[in-house]
Chain A
Amino acid sequence: MLRNVYLKTLRDSRRSILYYSIGSVAIGLYVTLFYPTIRDATGFTEFLEQLPEAIKALMGDAETYTTAEGFLNAEIFSFMGPMVFGIFAIIAGMGAIAGEEESHTLDQLLANPISRTSVLLQKAGALMTGLVGLSIALFVGLIVGSKIAGFSLSITGTAQGILSLYMLGITLGLIALAVGAATGRKGLAGGVAAAVGVVGFLLDTFLSIVELLDPARFISVFYYFNNSDVIINGINLVHFLTLVGISAVAIAVSVWRFEKRDLSN
């Protein structure tokens, strides 16, 4: 595990990957095991339709809420999933370059014959790999949970939903990495990425009810992540590629700024 920067980074985050994966399995199981209770509750749909707009914005479509995919869409893919994936990715991203710099280990790493770009790309690779672990864990949790609870769940829908969630994690993680690589400041990196996530969430949910703010949802990463209700409707290619694009820009900016600046000691 100490062959290169990529494996070393994975090794460093092995506990974190393990714990977040356990968390992902857990929320997968929790939500799927809870679903039959909602499905079988009488009058639930009617109840939902009476809720204020703000709550509906958060819970998703009332008509689909009592279907398995609709329920998961509202429970996993609007809040819990993004939270777990987002926090994991942001912590990994802010630690990648800025974390090493703040703990004064970057000089010594870069005293070895390895380019800054290579260090950065390997660390980004480790972040993406860690998120694959979380994604598999969530998928297993949801599928196993649905089997135990005795309802059928669209495998391809679930997989696509998780793929979109994975891409949201990558986006937030790479934004954190980019700010950290550009400034060397871990706190700033985490703060900016968390703000992108939280503001994005609010713009796509509560704030979208405010007519004035509705157009602003197009700048929200959450809009591209799941506004099209991926687990129900499948991946929206344009939205998905938008997240890929943001991530690519984040990587490009990281490399460009990190190669140019002075490292702090």
Chain B
Amino acid sequence: MTAAISTAALTKFYGEHRGVIDVDLEINMGEVFGLLGPNGAGKTTCIRMFFDFIRPTSGTATVLGLDSKSDSVEIRRRVGYLPGDFVTYEKLTALELLEYFANLRDGNMTRARVLAERFNLDLSRRIGELSRGNRQKVGLVQAFMSDPEFLILDEPTTGLDPLLQQEFHKLVLEEARAGKTLFVSSHVLSEVEIICDRVGIIRDGLLVTVEEVSVLRERALTRVEIEFADNVSAADFEAVEGVTDVEVSNHLFVCNVTGSVNSLIKAAANHTVNKIQSGQPGLEEVFLAYYDSANDRVDGGGSDAA
């Protein structure tokens, strides 16, 4: 089967400045893939190369099996694009803009109207008068309106209110269920966790790792707080499997746990436990683990995958 995206040593320098370096990425059809990284890591650089807005310094990228440079028009016919900050002709009304972009494709506005209604978007307003959220909705409608088989979304929910973010996540999941392929870049980790099957983590232009979300979650750190009836010492827990970053003050105990908390619970049971609290393991922690190169909390697995 053709890959949705396949890159080979994809590299981009802006003059002296690093864009991305030697990115090898393989995204399958039907997959929801998340590209995770802080601002400036190279997410947008990758996406702009997929759409041929910029050209690789070296290496190649194919989208839907088509060469990003020579088959760009065909790629853009078949792929929907939504950037994080959807900027377009401010003087046009939302309806005029959508009609214009529809005309540059197949002229079909049916789905645009359905989506506009769903997202409660007033099409008669001028783009320039719209709030950030509503402008982003227009972007969303134009990206999805041609019902493309593949969608590339660059930080799509930046600046959206939580309700709209939720609505957006629902749409993405629906599309995924309908068999569409999605590529979503984000620095909102919880978002990627909700909608993606697989995640690539990019840092300083390097693709650090690519993992199933479930695997990352397993590797996720859980923050555990235990209030004991008596004073405990850090030494009692430091050797326990998966436990790191132990902090103890009198009978309050705090630590991070990698993977299962089973061993910690068993160790804690040697004492009288008054209260136990734990944060949901989130990608946030995985993410931080990958980033915190000074602290080697994540061993082996991550760097092997890269």
From A112, A115, A263, A265, B44 is in contact (CB under 8 Å) with: A265
- Is the C-beta of A147 less than 8 angstroms from some C-beta in chain B? no
From B44, B73, B92, A114 is in contact (CB under 8 Å) with: B73
Binds A, one of B51-59, B175-183, B225-233, B287-295: B51-59
- Is the C-beta of A53 less than 8 angstroms from some C-beta in chain B? no
- Is the C-beta of B101 less than 8 angstroms from some C-beta in chain A? yes
- Is the C-beta of B96 less than 8 angstroms from some C-beta in chain A? yes
How many residues does chain B have at the interface if contact means C-beta atoms less than 8 Å apart?
A: 29
In the assembled complex, the Cα of A255 lies from the Cα of B11 at a distance in Å of 25
From A2, A262, A263, B103 is in contact (CB under 8 Å) with: A2
B54-A262 in contact (CB<8A)? yes
- Is the C-beta of A50 less than 8 angstroms from some C-beta in chain B? no
A105-B88 in contact (CB<8A)? yes
In the assembled complex, the Cα of A113 lies from the Cα of B142 at a distance in Å of 13
B87-A104 in contact (CB<8A)? yes
B103-A4 in contact (CB<8A)? yes
Report the minimum CB–CB distance from A93 to chain B (whole Å). Answer: 19
List of A residues within 8 angstroms of B54 by Cβ? 262-263
From A4, A12, A113, B76 is in contact (CB under 8 Å) with: A113
From B73, B87, B91, B103, A108 is in contact (CB under 8 Å) with: B87
- Is the C-beta of A107 less than 8 angstroms from some C-beta in chain B? yes
- Is the C-beta of A212 less than 8 angstroms from some C-beta in chain B? no
Most chain B Cβ neighbours within 10 Å, of A5, A111, A114, A265: A111
Report the minimum CB–CB distance from A237 to chain B (whole Å). Answer: 39
Report the minimum CB–CB distance from B20 to chain A (whole Å). Answer: 14
If A4-B104, A105-B87 touch, whether A111 touches B76 (CB-CB below 8 Å) is yes
A107-B83 in contact (CB<8A)? yes
In the assembled complex, the Cα of A4 lies from the Cα of B101 at a distance in Å of 9
12 A-B pairs with C-beta separation under 8 A: A2-B100, A4-B103, A5-B104, A105-B89, A107-B53, A111-B81, A112-B76, A113-B73, A113-B76, A113-B104, A262-B54, A263-B48
